[in-house]
Amino acid sequence: MRRDPEPEVGALVLDAKSDRIGLVMGHEGPYVQLRPVGGGTEWDADPGHVRLVTHTEALRARVSELNRAVRPQ
């Protein structure tokens, strides 16, 4: 069975298991450590459920984060 290489630190990926997009912050043991696009708490993802995002998914994630940042509190 062929396994895709782990994504590089800084890559924008989709964790299909949690349906969340995050930035790769590192690799710890068997997991890929991800952080939400706008910052926040990291989570561990199974590399078998992580893939690079498409251009459309990346744009959607960044627009969502910008919208969150400009909303009044």
Cα end-to-end span (Å), the chain: 49
Instruction: Give CA–CA dist 55/59, Å, rounded.
Output: 6
Q: What is the pLDDT of residues 61-71, one digit of tens each?
A: 989 888 888 87
Q: Residue 16's Cα: distance from chain center in Å?
A: 10
> What's residue 2's pLDDT?
41
Q: What is the pLDDT of residues 12-42, one digit of tens each?
A: 999 999 999 999 999 999 999 999 988 899 9
Helix (H) or strand (E) holding 61: helix 55-70
The mean per-residue pLDDT over the stretch 34-57 comes to: 94
